[in-house]
């Protein structure tokens, strides 16, 4: 599972963190991201329509690889597991949540910001983690420092990542993908500016080309 997640994140490179307020935005948003070359999507459980939005995306946008983020507890995990999504992500971790994830076949990346949190994740067998909030929790220097004692852990930094710094994060050997909301700004979603979202994705991916 964890190897699968590394492969999935590496292919993704950038993962938009989606907050979907209106169900009718789900499909056009997924199409706009896919059109911009961004296929791996994290639908966060921050709005009442999140689960329904993920279902609609999976049904109608087959090119999208849909995962769920902001999984906060075992009850969330159980709801998500049944959906048949590709992966799950959380901003942090609790022993209960990690236990639920170890009992499941859903690939899961818990969130960590400190060495102790990472040690808890590792004790449950999770060696792919979301580094959150990445910029605020020490930035690239902080992640490099964690790489010392934990050379085999792979990270998806999220929080404060954007067009300006995505390439620097991705240049780190222990970073497999970066996540963030810059690819799908709430204002653009509210305005239905799908072409604008496609353009942000294209610009971001273009800038990451060697």
Which residues of this chain interact with ligand 3PG, rule CB under 6 A?
17, 91, 132, 158-161, 179-182
Cα–Cα distance, 60 to 115 (Å, whole number): 40
Consecutive H or E run containing 131: strand 128-131
Closer by beta carbon to ligand 3PG, 13 or else 158: 158
Cα–Cα distance, 201 to 180 (Å, whole number): 12
Please provide residue 156's backbone torsions phi and psi, each rounded to the nearest 5 degrees.
-120, 95
The distance of closest approach from Cβ of residue 181 to ligand 3PG in the complex, given in angstroms and rounded to an integer, is: 4
The distance of closest approach from Cβ of residue 62 to ligand 3PG in the complex, given in angstroms and rounded to an integer, is: 25
The distance of closest approach from Cβ of residue 12 to ligand 3PG in the complex, given in angstroms and rounded to an integer, is: 14
The total of other beta-carbon atoms located within 10 Å of residue 203's CB is 13
Closer by beta carbon to ligand 3PG, 92 or else 123: 92
Residues composing the chain: 210
Closer by beta carbon to ligand 3PG, 181 or else 198: 181
Identify whether 163 is a catalytic site residue: no
The distance of closest approach from Cβ of residue 158 to ligand 3PG in the complex, given in angstroms and rounded to an integer, is: 4
**Pick the catalytic residue: 42, 81, 135, 188?**
42
Identify whether 42 is a catalytic site residue: yes
**Pick the catalytic residue: 60, 81, 130, 163?**
130
Chain residue at closest Cβ approach to ligand 3PG: 180
Report helix, strand or coil for 75: helix
The distance of closest approach from Cβ of residue 183 to ligand 3PG in the complex, given in angstroms and rounded to an integer, is: 9
Which residue has 């085999």 as its token pair?
Answer: 152
Distances (CA, A) of 149 to 90, 137, 145: 23, 17, 8
Closer by beta carbon to ligand 3PG, 149 or else 179: 179
Report helix, strand or coil for 41: strand
Cα–Cα distance, 153 to 87 (Å, whole number): 18
Closer by beta carbon to ligand 3PG, 59 or else 177: 177
Q: Are 6 and 126 spatial neighbours (Cβ–Cβ below 8 Å)?
A: no
Cα–Cα distance, 200 to 100 (Å, whole number): 36
- Positions annotated as catalytic residues are 42, 130
């Amino acid at each position: 599972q964890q190897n699968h997640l590394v492969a999935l994140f590496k292919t993704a490179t950038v993962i938009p963190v989606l907050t979907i307020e209106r169900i009718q935005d789900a499909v056009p948003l997924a199409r706009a991201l896919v059109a911009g070359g961004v296929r791996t999507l994290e639908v966060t459980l921050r709005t009442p329509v999140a689960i329904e939005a993920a279902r609609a995306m999976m049904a109608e946008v087959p090119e999208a690889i849909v995962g769920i983020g902001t999984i906060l507890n075992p009850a969330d995990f159980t709801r998500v597991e049944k959906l048949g999504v590709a992966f799950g992500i959380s901003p942090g971790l609790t022993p209960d949540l990690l236990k639920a994830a170890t009992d499941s076949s859903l690939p899961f990346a818990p969130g960590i910001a400190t060495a102790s949190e990472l040690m808890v994740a590792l004790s449950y067998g999770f060696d792919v983690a979301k580094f959150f909030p990445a910029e605020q929790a020490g930035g690239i220097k902080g992640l490099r420092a964690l790489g010392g004692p934990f050379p085999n852990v792979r990270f998806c930094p999220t929080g404060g990542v954007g067009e300006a710094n995505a390439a620097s994060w991705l240049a780190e050997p222990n970073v497999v993908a970066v996540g963030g909301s810059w690819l799908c700004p709430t204002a653009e979603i509210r305005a239905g500016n799908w072409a604008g979202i496609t353009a942000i994705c294209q610009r971001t991916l273009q800038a990451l080309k060697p």
